[in-house]
Structure 1
Amino acid sequence: MYQSAGSAHASAETIAGLDAWRSLSPQQQPAYEDAAELEAARQSLGAQPPLIFAGEADRLKDRIAAASRGEAFVLAGGDCAESFSGATADKIRRRVQTVLQMAAVLTYGGSLPVVKIGRMAGQFAKPRSSDLETREGVTLPSFRGDIVNSHEFTPEARRNDPQRMLTAYNVSASTLNLIRAFTTGGFADLRLVHDWNRGFLTANEGYQRYEATAAEIDRALRFMEACGADFEALNSVEFFAAHEALLLEYERALTRIDSRTGDPYDVSGHFLWIGERTRQLDSAHVDFLSRVRNPIGVKLGPTATADDALALAERLDPDAEPGRLTFITRMGAGVIRERLPQLLQGIGDRLPHVTWVCDPMHGNTITSSSGYKTRRFEDIMAEVSGFFEAHYDAGTVPGGLHIELTGDDVTEILGGGAQIDEAGLEERYETLVDPRLNHDQALEMAFQVAEYVSAHRSAAGA
Structure 2
Amino acid sequence: MSASSDALDVLSTWRDLPRVQQPTWPDEGHRAEVSARLRSAPPLVFAGEVDQLRDRVAAAARGEAFVLMGGDCAETFADSTADRIRNKIRTILQMSAVLTYGASMPVIKMGRMAGQFAKPRSSDTETVDGVTLPTYRGDAVNGFAFTEESRRPDPERLWKMYTTSSSTLNLLRAFTTGGFADLREVHAWNQGFISGHGYDRYERIAHDIDKAVRFMAACGYDFEALRQVEFYAAHEALLLDYEEALTRIDSRTGEIYDCSGHFLWIGERTRQLDGAHVAFLSTVNNPIGVKLGPDASVDDALRLIDRLDPDRVPGRLMFVARMGAAKVRDRLPALVQGVRDAGAQVAWVTDPMHGNTITSSNGYKTRRFEDILDEVTGFFEVHRALGTVPAGLHMELTGDDVTEVLGGSGEIDEIGLERRYETLVDPRLNHQQSLELAFLVAEMLGTD
| Amino acid across the alignment from 2:321 | T
**Following TM superposition, by how much is the alpha carbon of 1:220 offset from its aligned partner in structure 2, in angstroms?**
0.3
Checking the alignment, whether the CA contact within 8 Å between 1:78 and 1:403 is kept in structure 2 is yes
Report the counterpart of residue 401 of structure 2 in structure 1: 409
**Following TM superposition, by how much is the alpha carbon of 1:355 offset from its aligned partner in structure 2, in angstroms?**
0.5
Question: Which of residues 385, 393, 401 in structure 1 aligns to 2:385?
Answer: 393
Distance (Å, rounded) in 2 between the aligned partners of 1:89 and 1:304: 39
| Amino acid across the alignment from 2:292 | L
Report the counterpart of residue 435 of structure 2 in structure 1: 443
Report the counterpart of residue 425 of structure 2 in structure 1: 433
> Within the alignment, does 1:101 sit opposite 2:94 as a pair?
yes
Which aligned pairs between 1:191-206 and structure 2 lie closer than 5 A? Answer: 191-206=184-199
> Within the alignment, does 1:166 sit opposite 2:159 as a pair?
yes
Checking the alignment, whether the CA contact within 8 Å between 1:68 and 1:352 is kept in structure 2 is no
Which aligned pairs between 1:199-348 and structure 2 lie closer than 5 A? Answer: 199-207=192-200, 209-348=201-340
Give the superposed CA RMSD: 0.8
| Amino acid across the alignment from 1:126 | K
Question: Which of residues 116, 128, 133 in structure 1 aligns to 2:126?
Answer: 133
Report the counterpart of residue 460 of structure 1 in structure 2: none
> Within the alignment, does 1:65 sit opposite 2:73 as a pair?
no
- The superposition leaves residues 300-341 of structure 1 with CA deviations (integer Å, 9 ceiling, x where unpaired) of 000011111000000000000110000000000001011111
> Within the alignment, does 1:157 sit opposite 2:156 as a pair?
no
| Amino acid across the alignment from 1:419 | E
**Following TM superposition, by how much is the alpha carbon of 1:353 offset from its aligned partner in structure 2, in angstroms?**
2.2
**Following TM superposition, by how much is the alpha carbon of 1:432 offset from its aligned partner in structure 2, in angstroms?**
0.3
> Within the alignment, does 1:76 sit opposite 2:69 as a pair?
yes
Q: 1:182 to 1:28 in 2, by over 3 A?
A: same
Report the counterpart of residue 410 of structure 2 in structure 1: 418
Q: Please, which runs of 5 or more residues in structure 1 have no aligned partner?
A: 7-11, 457-462
> Within the alignment, does 1:31 sit opposite 2:36 as a pair?
no
| Amino acid across the alignment from 1:83 | T
Question: Which of residues 88, 92, 97 in structure 1 aligns to 2:85?
Answer: 92
| Amino acid across the alignment from 2:87 | R
Which SS does the other structure have where 2:341 is aligned? Answer: coil
- The superposition leaves residues 6-44 of structure 1 with CA deviations (integer Å, 9 ceiling, x where unpaired) of 2xxxxx3x4322011101121000001111111111111
> Within the alignment, does 1:19 sit opposite 2:4 as a pair?
no
**Following TM superposition, by how much is the alpha carbon of 1:5 offset from its aligned partner in structure 2, in angstroms?**
4.0
Count of residues in Structure 1 that have an aligned counterpart in Structure 2: 448
Which SS does the other structure have where 1:18 is aligned? Answer: helix
Identity of matched residues, %? 65
Which SS does the other structure have where 1:170 is aligned? Answer: helix
Q: Please, which runs of 5 or more residues in structure 2 have no aligned partner?
A: none
Checking the alignment, whether the CA contact within 8 Å between 2:193 and 2:199 is kept in structure 1 is no
> Within the alignment, does 1:182 sit opposite 2:181 as a pair?
no
More displaced stretch, 347-356 vs 189-198:
347-356
Report the counterpart of residue 48 of structure 1 in structure 2: 41
Checking the alignment, whether the CA contact within 8 Å between 1:297 and 1:325 is kept in structure 2 is yes
| Amino acid across the alignment from 2:186 | V
Checking the alignment, whether the CA contact within 8 Å between 1:5 and 1:255 is kept in structure 2 is no
Checking the alignment, whether the CA contact within 8 Å between 1:295 and 1:325 is kept in structure 2 is yes
| Amino acid across the alignment from 2:3 | S
Name the TM-score, length of structure 2 as normaliser: 0.99
Which SS does the other structure have where 1:77 is aligned? Answer: strand
More displaced stretch, 130-139 vs 63-72:
130-139
Distance (Å, rounded) in 2 between the aligned partners of 1:257 and 1:362: 34
Distance (Å, rounded) in 1 between the aligned partners of 2:13 and 2:383: 37
Checking the alignment, whether the CA contact within 8 Å between 2:47 and 2:257 is kept in structure 1 is yes
- The superposition leaves residues 151-191 of structure 1 with CA deviations (integer Å, 9 ceiling, x where unpaired) of 00001110100000000000000000000000000000001
Q: 1:110 to 1:204 in 2, by over 3 A?
A: farther
Distance (Å, rounded) in 2 between the aligned partners of 1:397 and 1:25: 34
Distance (Å, rounded) in 2 between the aligned partners of 1:352 and 1:382: 27
Question: Which of residues 105, 117, 124 in structure 1 aligns to 2:110?
Answer: 117
**Following TM superposition, by how much is the alpha carbon of 1:352 offset from its aligned partner in structure 2, in angstroms?**
4.1
| Amino acid across the alignment from 1:134 | T
Which SS does the other structure have where 2:249 is aligned? Answer: strand
| Amino acid across the alignment from 2:441 | V
Which SS does the other structure have where 2:391 is aligned? Answer: strand
| Amino acid across the alignment from 1:162 | P
**Following TM superposition, by how much is the alpha carbon of 1:206 offset from its aligned partner in structure 2, in angstroms?**
2.9
Distance (Å, rounded) in 2 between the aligned partners of 1:297 and 1:409: 29
| Amino acid across the alignment from 1:241 | A
Distance (Å, rounded) in 2 between the aligned partners of 1:383 and 1:136: 37
- The superposition leaves residues 413-462 of structure 1 with CA deviations (integer Å, 9 ceiling, x where unpaired) of 00001000000000000000000000000000000000011012xxxxxx
Question: Which of residues 349, 354, 367 in structure 2 aligns to 1:375?
Answer: 367
Distance (Å, rounded) in 2 between the aligned partners of 1:56 and 1:194: 27
Distance (Å, rounded) in 2 between the aligned partners of 1:139 and 1:352: 46
Distance (Å, rounded) in 2 between the aligned partners of 1:386 and 1:183: 33
**Following TM superposition, by how much is the alpha carbon of 1:351 offset from its aligned partner in structure 2, in angstroms?**
4.2
Which SS does the other structure have where 1:374 is aligned? Answer: strand
More displaced stretch, 341-350 vs 150-159:
341-350
